[in-house]
Amino acid sequence: MGRSYAGVLGYLAATLTLVRGAVTGSGLEGTLVMAIATMACFASIGFLIGTIAQTTVDQAVREQLESQLAARSAPMES
């Protein structure tokens, strides 16, 4: 999930930076450098967010599964 988020946020940031540079008429070299920098920054942020999200989901599923298994293995009272 971290790699997916990194890819999406990185390319989105780079695309928006390139569009902004085209709209404002900025120089090509400066715009490309800024796009690469924002892509790297937002890809890092996306990777971190995605990794945290994956860990949270894994932990929640594991806890739910463990509680269901514990309920099945507990002796039933009549």
78 in a structural domain: no
Asked whether 69 and 44 are in contact (CB, 8 A), the reply is: no
Structural domains counted in the chain:
1
Q: Per the domain annotation, does 76 fall within a domain?
A: no
Per-residue model confidence as pLDDT tens digits over 24-72 = 998 999 999 999 999 999 999 999 999 999 999 999 999 999 999 988 8
By the 8 A CB rule, do 43 and 2 touch? no
Judge whether 77 lies within some domain. Answer: no
In this predicted structure, what is the pLDDT of residue 78? 56
Asked if 39 and 3 touch (Cβ cutoff 8 Å), the reply is no
d(CA 8, CA 39): 10
Task: Tell whether pTM > 0.75.
Answer: yes
Say what the pLDDT of residue 73 is: 85
